[in-house]
Amino acid sequence: MDQESNFNSLLSNDLFIEWVKNNPTASDWLAFKSKHPLPDEEIELARSIILQISHPISFDASDALQEEVWKNIHKSTASKYSLKHFGILAVCLLVILIGFFKFSQNRQPTDTELALEISDQWIEYTNTTDSNWPVDLSDGSQVILEPQAKLKYPRRFSQKTRKVQLTGDAFFDIAHDTLKPFYVYANEALIRVLGTSFYVKAEEDDKDIQVIVKTGKVAVYKGKEVIEYQAKRIDQLEPIVVTPNQIATLNKSQLKFHKRLVSRPMITKSLESMNKIFFENASIHEIAKALEKAYGIEIVVDERISDNCRLTTTLTDQPLFEKLKIICDPLGLEYFEKDVRIHINGNCKN
């Protein structure tokens, strides 16, 4: 089967349609694409057409609107697909418009946009479903869009950089490429990464933008610097660097950063990476170093606490702050967070 007929068959393939509508997990995407020779953007286009049919948006199907829909379809296919595709797309368009017409008979039409807009250079996708939705980018990166989130991204990234625009909340899993940094423009923030995973909360109506890192690290820049970046080298700017278990918050009105630990830090390395799970007569310094290594969080023990401050205990799957309570309470010590570090102070009872 050649590439053209393969694309045609996707739009009428019952298994493909069922898979798109009911089973859109990341592993399924990878499994499907490994068996089909089509480029990512062609699979994405076929998937998006099917989604438009499955989730019609209510509006008045006027002549002007129909003409605009045809324009978008023409832009996205004229340079790449033959007239055979337009026959299929015409049928899809007809089904969509019939659905719109029937739906509008029962309620007043509203001014909404198509969830997917496509041009020769970029794709703009809005998650109109009630669940998180994966979007695969051409470099192997994946973005999980939460409901109502919008992502604008190029069909193909440039040779030097990878840039996308986000409105709303999304999780990014970025393919590593030291030669092509990845940039996320999220309202008043610019996020720069090389290869990592992180969460961005960038609702238009919220006063803050939040970046939470799962793996690796990211650099976040203020809004004014986003504009200046067009005329300056990125390494001349002063970012805030965010690492795992940290949250960077940018106040959009004041353009001020605040960084703190997440409320429930996660282990960034397996428990086996800790030198000991069962600590027998271990010093508080030894236990703190093991926790620091497992969570990737700096834990500072007051230098006045001697190595004679020791404890025998077992740490398993408790949350980090519960672990700290287990080791500090018997020794009469206290712990607190300051400047994205955990500090342990006090007079040891031993």
- 121-262 matches 271-345 in fold: no
The C-alpha angle 156, 22, 11, rounded to 5 degrees, equals 55
Q: What is the CATH number of domain 121-262?
A: 2.60.120.1440
Give residue limits of the domains in the chain.
1-111, 121-262, 271-345
Can you list the alpha helix ranges (DSSP code H) found in the chain? 3-12, 14-22, 26-35, 40-54, 63-77, 83-104, 223-228, 284-295, 320-328
Give the pLDDT mean for 57-81: 43
Mean pLDDT along residues 21-28: 60
- Bigger pLDDT: 228 or 72? 228
pLDDT, one tens digit per residue, over 39-67 is: 666 666 676 666 655 543 333 334 444 44
Q: Which residue has the higher pLDDT, 345 or 225?
A: 345
Mean pLDDT confidence for 9-14:
66
Say yes or no to pLDDT of 11 above 80.
no
Q: pLDDT by residue (tens digit) across 160-173?
A: 889 999 999 999 99
The string over 142-167, giving b where at least 16 C-beta atoms fall within 10 Å of a residue's C-beta and e elsewhere, is bbbbbeebbbbbbbebeeeebebbbb
Query: Of 92, 109, 111, 91, which Cα lies nearest the Cα of 100?
Result: 109
Query: Which residue has tokens 């919220």?
Result: 206
Contact status, residue 229 vs residue 221, Cβ threshold 8 Å = yes
How large is the average pLDDT for residues 322-340? 94
pLDDT level of residue 187 (50, 70, 90 thresholds): confident
Q: How confident is the model at residue 255 (pLDDT cuts 50, 70, 90)?
A: confident
- In angstroms, the CA 250 to CA 220 distance is 9
Q: Which of 18-27, 188-197, 253-262 has the lowest mean pLDDT?
A: 18-27
Residues 273-315 have pLDDT tens digits of 555 578 899 999 999 999 998 899 999 999 999 999 999 998 8
Could you please state the CATH topology (level 3) that the domain comprising 271-345 is classified under: Phage tail protein beta-alpha-beta fold (3.55.50)
Q: CA 48, CA 151: separation in Å to the nearest integer?
A: 14
Residues 6 or more apart whose Cβ sits within 8 Å of residue 11: 46, 49, 50, 88, 92
C-alpha–C-alpha distance, residues 278 and 75, integer Å? 63
DSSP string of 189-235? EEEEESS-EEEEEE-TT-SEEEEEEEES-EEEE-HHHHHHGGGS-GG
Closest CA to 324 of 75, 294, 308: 294
Residues 6+ apart with CB under 8 A from 9: 1
